[in-house]
Structure 1
């Protein structure tokens, strides 16, 4: 039986979400700046995915196993501890950019940053655009 993805696009206002969910003024400022930049870099409006992920564009993926679903091309979440940036694809282009990004921690497919001033925004732009290009060419990829 196919499983339903838990994180799907919603109709909730991204501006309302940031205003009500984010408790730090600096994180609110950074959230609105990230939203503006990711909209510009992706060419897509911000949409809320699930309860806390702000995504841009849509990527439909399908694995060899038959599992398939939709996810944003790039996204972020203004979590309490740090921003979760969903802008990384596991390829040589993305890997080579990490050394130029600045101060961050890496999860499996997620980059964690405390604040935007900790990272190089032009490198983040390259990561975002590279990930969008990679996902558009690789429908089997979900991260």
Structure 2
């Protein structure tokens, strides 16, 4: 079975945040503080410039298994990608209050943090972690 391409690295998340152009560098610090507070986990930089907090081990009915970060973000040029596993299907009542965003399967796209309600984002990340923990054990 093929190994998951998204793996943690030994890179320093703080150096990664500092290397981002403004305003992404400051947004990274805001998100880092929020993810640490909500998850209780320190950040890890994963391949693909993904910043993950916590991990979960999964095994699908097909037998495929692996480890992935529990929640996190990536500071992309066009938008911040915010990852909430396994997805947003049940969180419409929270997303309605967030502010301008776009959605992918397990990813939320936000152009600027200043345009959204950070308290609502925190609520969403907490709900996502709770949902994930009901499916798979979440750990450091």
TM-score, normalised to structure 2's length?
0.91
Q: Distance in 2 between matches of 1:85 and 1:127?
A: 10
Partner of 2:102: 105
Aligned-pair Cα RMSD in Å: 1.5
Would you identify which runs of 4 or more consecutive aligned residues in structure 1 move more than 3 Å? Answer: none
Partner of 1:3: 2
**Counterpart pick for 1:33 among 30, 35, 46:** 30
Q: Distance in 2 between matches of 1:110 and 1:91?
A: 11
Q: Distance in 1 between matches of 2:28 and 2:60?
A: 32
Q: Distance in 2 between matches of 1:73 and 1:95?
A: 20
**Count of aligned pairs between the two proteins:** 136
Q: Distance in 1 between matches of 2:29 and 2:107?
A: 20
Gaps of 5+ in 1: none
TM-score, normalised to structure 1's length?
0.89
SS in 2 for 1:32: helix
Q: Distance in 1 between matches of 2:35 and 2:126?
A: 9
Gaps of 5+ in 2: none
Partner of 2:134: 137
Q: Distance in 2 between matches of 1:19 and 1:126?
A: 26
The structure richer in strand per residue is: 2
Q: Distance in 2 between matches of 1:51 and 1:106?
A: 19
Q: Distance in 2 between matches of 1:90 and 1:81?
A: 21
For residues 74-100 of structure 1, the C-alpha deviation after alignment (integer angstroms, 9 at most, x for no partner) is 1100011110000253442x2221101
Correspondences of 1:1-143 after superposition (within 5 Å): 2-20=1-19, 22-23=20-21, 25-87=22-84, 89-92=87-90, 94-139=91-136
Shift of 1:68: 1.1
Shift of 1:50: 0.9
Is the contact made by 2:88 and 2:105 (CA closer than 8 Å) also made in structure 1? Answer: no
The structure richer in helix per residue is: 1
